[in-house]
Amino acid sequence: MQVAGFVSAVKAAMFRAARDSALSREQITDRMNDIALAAGVRMTQGRARTISQDTLDKWLSADDREHVPSMLAVHVFCVAVHTIAPLRVWLASFGSDVMTPADRKLCDYGRACIEGKMRAKSKRRLEDELMEQEVLR
């Protein structure tokens, strides 16, 4: 899926996020337009400053290969719908995933545990060396 099914997978994730959202597609379109206008960016290559609901519908159709949302449009969609699902699909194509703040804490905790064990092992090794030196005296 690294390249071949990438666009369809991202669009499918966007579709599921829109379907699961409490917002209607019209509300999602309005939010996306508001976000883009506030940021001073365009989500499409044309002269239009906003997108239509028809455009959003095409972006959410995994079977429509002609209408592909830009990276910026996917980002704005994620902000508007409060989801990282399409980004997770994007990163999965590289064998990666999103790390949440809770995941980060768990990672830091695990790293601290491993470092503690490494320090304890080093301490035991030094103790053993000191004990051998004392025995040889």
Write down the pLDDT at residue 30: 97
Q: At what angle do helices 25-39 and 71-81 cross, to 10 degrees?
A: 120
**Cα–Cα distances in angstroms (integers) from residue 49 to residues 16, 46, 59, 78, 84, in the given order:** 26, 8, 17, 19, 24
The rounded distance, in Å, linking the Cα atoms of 89 and 130 is 54
Q: pTM of the entire structure?
A: 0.76
Q: What is the pLDDT of residues 77-128, one digit of tens each?
A: 999 999 999 999 999 988 999 888 999 999 999 999 999 999 999 999 999 9
The rounded distance, in Å, linking the Cα atoms of 80 and 4 is 27
Write down the pLDDT at residue 46: 81
**What residues contact 125, with CB distance under 8 A and at least 6 apart?**
none
DSSP string covering 44-56: SSSS-SS--HHHH
> Which percentage of the chain shows pLDDT scores above 70?
97
Residue 66 DSSP one-character state? S
Q: What is the pLDDT of residues 36-52, one digit of tens each?
A: 999 999 999 888 889 99
